[in-house]
A and B are shown apart, each in its own frame.
Chain A
Amino acid sequence: MVNFRHPALLIWLLFVNSQLAIAEEAVADSAGEKNVWPLAVAAQSLTEDDYLGEVPKVLTVSRLSQSLADAASAVTVINRETIRASGIVDLPEIFRLVPGFYVGTNAGYVYNTNHTVSYHGMTTAYSGAMQVMINGRSVYSPLFGGVNWSELPLAIADIERIEITRGPNAASYGANSFFGVINIITQNPSDPAGSSVIATHGEERNEVFYRNAGKLNNLNYRVTAGYRQDGGLDNRNDFKRTRMLNAQADYQVNVKNGLEFEFGLADGARGEGNINEDNIVFLPRTKQIDNHYALMRWRHNVSDTSDFSLQAYHSYARSDDQTTSVNILPLLPAFAPFLAVDRLHIKNEVIQKRTDIEAQHTFSVGNNIRTVWGGSIRRDSMYAPYYLASKKTDYFDLQRLFGHVEWRPSEKLTFNTGAMVEHNDFTGTDISPRASINFKPNRNHTFRLGISSALRTPNYLEEKFQDRLLIPMTLPNPLGVNALVVQFRANKGNVNPEQIISRELGYMGKIGRLQLDVRAFSDRINDVIRFDGRTDFTTPVNTFLLNPLLDIEADSANNMGSAAVEGLEWQANWAFSNKTKLMFNHAYVHIRETQPDLKRNFVNSMPRNTISAMVTHRFDKNWDASIAYYQTSETTLLGDGDPVDLIRKCDVRLARRFNGRNWNGEVSAVVENLFNNHYQEFADYNTLERLARVNLRLDF
């Protein structure tokens, strides 16, 4: 903790302190000049400027989101209070409270053990069918798809709310906004000002975060630093130790212009390797991860009805995984005399970088039309010699143009239509359109009918992976072979994007204290990307392919068949009183393959029924408690997943607040899996147990 990124922290503090000095001078100057009446009066007095002076436009056209009743898709909003009540320590866990979502703990055993989060199926360890953004920055990884949740330089305490679009929204967020979009929004930098210490101690878990936020003249800032230690599951080598730093600032240049800055770092160690899965080559080991990003955004308020923003960000993610196999000589007795090594050393370093620049213009025409349009360019770079079988850095370029129009011909009707055109190096130029109509017979009821299409660009795993083991041989041998090869993936490339066409009928209603959100959907997924064994590939010259001898198939991704996903999901928020609230979610998802007998089909890649519920109750000013319940029916997940049974999970949380003169505090206790000490999630190698932890928060 202490020696963590000293230089960066120092620079930040210097910056902050110099601003402070400037701020003080500015105050002194203006006091000297404008002191027209006794200071005691001046300091306290209102002037005409407070009424007549210009106030920077806060809720600009672009900041004002569509009312949920006007939105083109079903949207679930998870706010701070819900996050707090749920008692979660790992961010992806919160998505269990979103209808139709599946969350699997520590899924996968290659690259990183990580939560998988999916919506409506096709769940693999890296579920790549959803776009995930943090403050407008895409954290979707092009390597396996999906998000490395534990590597995000983000503290849960800094999150203001999470908006989850259920359904494709490529017209606004581009490719990979396939089944849905997760948009994480952090708190305003200085909101609230002051310092906090947040510490958690529990079974397999220790965390501590410190945050400081404040305001210096026109600059609002927040710095959060933390350390997180997660012991992982009992029977797995999946520990995670993460150090993180996140800083955000916004600077109001003048009434029309504002600048926003973000900066984050996360690094640490990860347990990797599952002895049950591979006891020869990829053995249990420790790898290092290193992530950072920086973002800058300029917001310009063109007029009362028009806003412009320009943002640029760069992100970097490195994973340094080195492994040494067991002695392979006894395993390959026939080749043993000729092998150059008895153990394989594999250096699997992966460096992913992303640079993205986006311009966006939002404007309204009259009171009935609102438009947003813009464009972006992105370059992803990928250095992964082991996976790509090449020491060259691979580049993936992406250009986008998007537009969206909301038209409200009357109070009762809203039309939304939009499209995104994008061009990328893998699949060329594609277009994703959408359209929807919202009918609002009155303020409390809304019906929505929508159709939308989106694409999922194949990720590197599906397009370019050529990972293999090379076992060098020394002796010049009669066959002219100088290495043995075990080929895992041999992608042919030129995979087309998966396409989804989603039709939905939605209802949103408010009946007294009950809020309802119901969505019936029928999705068609075409050109489904699946892996299939292949034999028509070539290995490097003078090598000998071991696959046939070891009965290992080399896979290549192809577009094969289509699937239909149909169902109904609903969310109810019921405030029994100001003190007691219930949130209830249920989704019924039915997946069909339109082509029978396909290998690895999707039919069970999502539990048929998922249920989640949370009751929160406030006893008095100081005490509150919550109970959360999660249930998923049996399922067989893809990509590292296994058949798992029906799961019932129950978490409870009890909290007490304390107030001092200059501080506020909260102590809470959480028991996870209260009634269930052993169950499998995502795969049979993941056994979850009852866990308890205590959390302390101090604001001063």
Chain B
Amino acid sequence: MLSNTYKNKRVVKLLALLALISGFVPFLAQAYTGVTVVVSAETPVNAEFVESFKEALASGKNGRLRVKVIDLQEVEKLVVAENSELVVALGVKALEAASKLKHTTPVLGVFTPLPTYNNLLVSSKRVLGNFSAIVLDQPYTRRMALIKTVLPDVKNLGILLGPTSSQDSELLKDIGEKNTLNILQENVTQEADLIPKLQKLLDSTDALMAIPDPLVYSRETAQPILLTSYRHQKPVFGYSQSYVRSGALAGVYSSTKQLAQQAAEIAIKSQLAPSLLPPPQTPKYFSVMVNYQVARSLNIQLEDEDVIYKKMLGLETVE
């Protein structure tokens, strides 16, 4: 079994509370016959998701689910779908719109960061059983496994936390301990502190693990963070394909197809009990991406992505 339970204590508490409340809500919904995919825009990624999702449903045993795609402009259609459909919302805006549907309509968010999902869960006052998500965040255990796999010598791992990611501070320390990594962290509360704190961190760590936070890691800060780390000759482990392409050493990510596969599995599994969606989960299937140019420049010798992936798969299975 792949490790896909999310371990954030605060979220777990919140989820438990909400699950308790949801227990008192009578099940009104019936087995659904179709899935409505809500997209915020017609992008190639969304199109690829829909395509892969349909394929995955078709290959399922008892899956004969209709798939309908609507975009955000057609909000009125959402109302039509409300009672009998599973709504798969692609992206934050789509999930935000879907969260305003009748509370009995099961909604599954895809392409959504966990902190944003949590915010929407709270602000929409929905219950867990019919508001779930496959978040974009890879489990920290998996991310640290990658670090240990490619750089077994890393002892001190630096993390730079912002207002959003700082809630994971304790969790990161715990998981670090399990992976024999000493986590050194700096908290950034204002943009001006970013580089000074990063420099402080780089002086004492062997590598840096980037953790998504709007203040710390964004398109704008990618350049100073990656350049500063590179000047210190310290590798950065990214959280997305584009971050690795931009200049991180390596990262785990889930492809659109992999996320679609997981979404299809959830759709099939919960078809008969629409209000019992599984709890929000991290991506089940993943890929490894390595920036060999960066590795070479840092004089780090790395194996093929496939080899690294297989080693990591071995680790997750053992767990």
Task: Tell me whether A and B are bound partners.
Answer: yes
Where the two chains meet, the residues of A that have a C-beta atom closer than 8 Å to any C-beta of B are: 36-38, 41, 44-48, 50-59, 61, 63-70, 79, 160-161, 188, 190-194, 215, 218, 252, 304-305, 364, 367, 408, 411, 443, 578, 664
Tell me the smallest distance from the CB of A657 to a CB of chain B, in Å: 12
- For residue B179, which residues in chain A have a CB less than 8 angstroms away from its CB? none
A188 to B96, CA, bound (A): 38
A320 to chain B, nearest CB (A): 40
Q: Given A52-B242, A61-B293, A188-B224, A44–B113 Cβ distance below 8 Å?
A: no
In Å, the complex CA distance between A218 and B218 comes to 13
CB-contact partner of A50 in B123, B192, B218, under 8 A: B218
**Contact sample, A vs B, 18 pairs, CB 8 Å cutoff:** A41-B123, A46-B116, A47-B91, A47-B116, A50-B217, A51-B113, A52-B136, A55-B246, A56-B222, A56-B223, A61-B293, A63-B227, A64-B294, A67-B297, A67-B298, A193-B195, A215-B220, A252-B223
Known: A48-B91, A67-B298, A443-B299. A304 touches B245 (CB 8 A): yes
- Lowest 8 A-B CB distances belong to which pairs? A59-B247, A67-B299, A46-B113, A48-B111, A64-B297, A58-B226, A58-B247, A55-B246
- Interface core residue of A191, A305, A364 (most chain B CB under 10 Å): A191
B296 near A70 (CB under 8 angstroms)? yes
Across-interface contacts of B93 in A (CB, < 8 A): 36, 47
Please name all residues of chain B whose beta carbon is closer than 8 Å to the beta carbon of A38 when the two chains form the complex.
Answer: 123
Q: Which of B194-233 contact A (CB under 8 A)?
A: 195-196, 204, 212-214, 217-220, 222-224, 226-228, 230-231
Residues in B neighbouring A218, C-beta threshold 8 A: 220
Closest A residue to B72 using CB positions: A36
User: Cβ of A443 and Cβ of B246 under 8 Å apart?
Assistant: no
Neighbour of B231 across the interface among A57, A68, A160, A411, CB < 8 A: A160
Majority SS at the chain B contact face: helix
Chain B residue numbers with a CB within 8 Å of A57 are: 245-247
When distances are taken between beta carbons in the complex, the residues of chain A under 8 Å from B240 are 50-52, 55
Is B195 in contact with A70, judged by CB distance below 8 angstroms? Answer: no
Beyond A46-B115, A67-B297, A79-B231, 19 additional contacts (C-beta under 8 Å) are A36-B96, A37-B96, A45-B116, A46-B212, A47-B116, A48-B112, A51-B212, A51-B239, A52-B45, A56-B246, A57-B246, A58-B246, A59-B247, A64-B293, A69-B299, A160-B231, A188-B227, A193-B191, A305-B293
Report the nearest B residue to A214, measured CB to CB.
B192
Please give me the residue from chain B that is nearest to A185 by CB atom. Answer: B231
Residues of A within 8 A of B131 (CB): none
Does any Cβ of A come within 8 Å of B119's Cβ?
A: yes
Residues of A within 8 A of B195 (CB): 191-193
In the complex, are the beta carbons of A47 and B113 less than 8 A apart? yes
Least CB distance from A444 to B in Å reads: 10
B111 x A364 contact (CB < 8 A):
no
Q: Which of B115, B297, B301 contacts A411 (CB 8 A)?
A: B301
**Minimum distance in angstroms from A124 CB to a CB of chain B:** 35
Partner of B136 from the list A48, A70, A664 (CB cut-off 8 Å) is A48
Using known A-B contacts A67-B299, A192-B192, A193-B192, determine if residue A45 contacts B119 with beta carbons closer than 8 Å. Answer: yes
Q: In the complex, A63→B226 CA distance in Å?
A: 11
Q: Which residues of B lie under 8 Å from residue A63 when comparing CB positions?
A: 227, 230
- List, in ascending order, chain A residues with CB within 8 A of B301's CB: 411, 443
Residue of A nearest to B123 (CB): A41
B296: chain A residues within 8 A (beta carbon): 64, 67, 70, 367, 408
Most buried by A among B222, B253, B297: B297
Determine if B92 is an interface residue (Cβ-Cβ < 8 Å).
yes
In the complex, what distance in Å separates the CA atom of A38 from the CA atom of B123? 9
B219 touches A55 (CB 8 A): yes
Q: How far is the CB of B142 from chain A (nearest CB, A)?
A: 15
- Contact flag A65-B297 (CB < 8 Å), given A193-B192, A367-B292: yes
Q: B53 contacts the other chain (Cβ, under 8 Å)?
A: no
Question: Is B163's CB within 8 Å of the partner chain A?
Answer: yes
**Which one of B239, B243, B245, B293 has the greatest number of beta carbons of chain A within 10 Å?**
B293
CA distance A252 to B220 in the complex (A): 10
B270 in the interface (beta carbon within 8 A): no
Q: Chain B residues near A59 (CB, 8 Å)?
A: 226-227, 230, 246-247, 291, 293-294, 297
- Measured between beta carbons, the chain A residues less than 8 angstroms from B219 are 50, 53-56
Which residues of B come within 8 Å of A, CB atoms? 45, 91-93, 96-97, 111-113, 115-116, 119-120, 123, 136, 163-164, 191-192, 195-196, 204, 212-214, 217-220, 222-224, 226-228, 230-231, 239-240, 242-243, 245-247, 253, 291-294, 296-301
Decide if the interface of chain A is mainly helix, strand, loop or mixed.
loop
A367 vs B305: C-alpha distance when bound (angstroms) = 13
**Are B119 and A58 interface neighbours, CB within 8 A?**
no
With both beta carbons as reference points, the residue of chain B lying nearest to A252 in the complex is identified as B223
Residue picked from A59, A65, A411, most chain B C-beta under 10 Å = A59
CB distance from A660 to the nearest CB of B (A): 14
In the bound complex, CA of A191 to CA of B229 (Å)? 12
Q: How far, in angstroms, from A64 to B96 measured CA to CA in the complex?
A: 41
Question: Which residues of chain B come closer than 8 Å to A51, judged between CB atoms?
Answer: 111, 113, 136, 212, 239-240, 253
Q: How far is the CA of A161 from the CA of B123 in the complex (A)?
A: 49
* Contact between chains at B212 and A37 (CB < 8 Å): no
**A56→B247 CA distance, assembly (Å):** 9
A190 — nearest CB in chain B belongs to which residue?
B224
B81 → chain A closest CB, angstroms:
20
Instruction: Select from chain B the residue with minimum beta-carbon distance to A194.
Output: B192
Q: Are B223 and A188 in contact (CB under 8 A)?
A: yes
Distance between Cα atoms of A64 and B246 in the complex (Å): 11
Q: Bound complex: CA of A305 vs CA of B230, how far in Å?
A: 18
State A252–B223 Cα separation when bound (angstroms): 10
Chain B residues with CB under 8 Å of A52's CB are 45, 111, 136, 240, 242
B117 to chain A, nearest CB (A): 10
Residues on A with C-beta less than 8 A from B298 are: 67
Q: How far is the CB of B197 from chain A (nearest CB, A)?
A: 10
* Cβ-neighbour of A191 out of B45, B218, B228 (below 8 A): B228
- The docked-state distance in angstroms from the alpha carbon of A52 to that of B112 is 10
* Chain B contacts for A194, CB-based, 8 A: 192
**B residues in contact with A67, CB < 8 Å:** 296-299
State how many angstroms separate the Cβ of A46 from the closest Cβ of chain B. Answer: 4
* Residues in chain A near residue B119, CB distance under 8 A: 41, 44-45
Closest to B214 in A: A46
- How far does the alpha carbon of A36 sit from the alpha carbon of B112 in the complex, in Å? 15
Query: Shortest beta-carbon distance, B14 to chain A, in Å?
Result: 16
Q: How many angstroms between the C-alpha atoms of A161 and B242 in the bound complex? A: 28
Task: Decide: B297 and A58 in contact? CB cutoff 8 A.
Answer: no
Quick one: closest B residue to A578, CB to CB? B204
Cβ contact within 8 Å between A45 and B227: no
Q: Which of B115, B243, B246 has most chain A Cβ within 10 Å? A: B246
Does A46 lie within 8 Å of B242, measured CB to CB?
no
| Contact residues in A for B115 (Cβ distance below 8 Å) | 45-46
Q: Check if B223 sits within 8 Å of A46, measured CB to CB.
A: no
Min CB gap A112→B, angstroms = 33
B96: A residues at CB distance < 8 A: 36-37
- Give the distance to chain B from A364, nearest Cβ to Cβ, in Å: 7
Contacts of A305 in B (CB 8 A): 293
The reply to whether A58 and B222 contact each other, CB–CB distance below 8 Å, is: yes
How long is the Cα–Cα vector from A38 to B291 in the complex, in angstroms? 38
* Chain A residues near B120 (CB-CB < 8 A): 37, 41
Q: Output the residue of A52, A57, A68, A408 with the most chain B CB within 10 A.
A: A52
Q: How many Å lie between the Cα of A364 and that of B294 in the bound state? A: 12
Q: Do residues B231 and A161 form an inter-chain contact, with CB atoms below 8 A?
A: yes
In the complex, A69 Cα to B253 Cα: how many Å? 31
Verify A44–B164 contact, CB threshold 8 A: yes
* B274 CB, nearest partner CB in chain A, Å: 25
Residues of A close to B116: CB separation below 8 A: 45-47
Nearest CB of A to B235, in Å? 11
* Residue pair A50, B113 in contact (C-beta under 8 Å): yes
User: Which residues on the A side are within 8 Å of B299 (C-beta)?
Assistant: 67-70, 443
- Closest CB-CB distance, B232 to chain A, in whole Å? 9
Smallest CB–CB gap between B292 and chain A, Å?
5
Q: Which residues of B contact A54 (CB under 8 A)?
A: 219, 242
Closest CB-CB distance, B114 to chain A, in whole Å?
A: 8
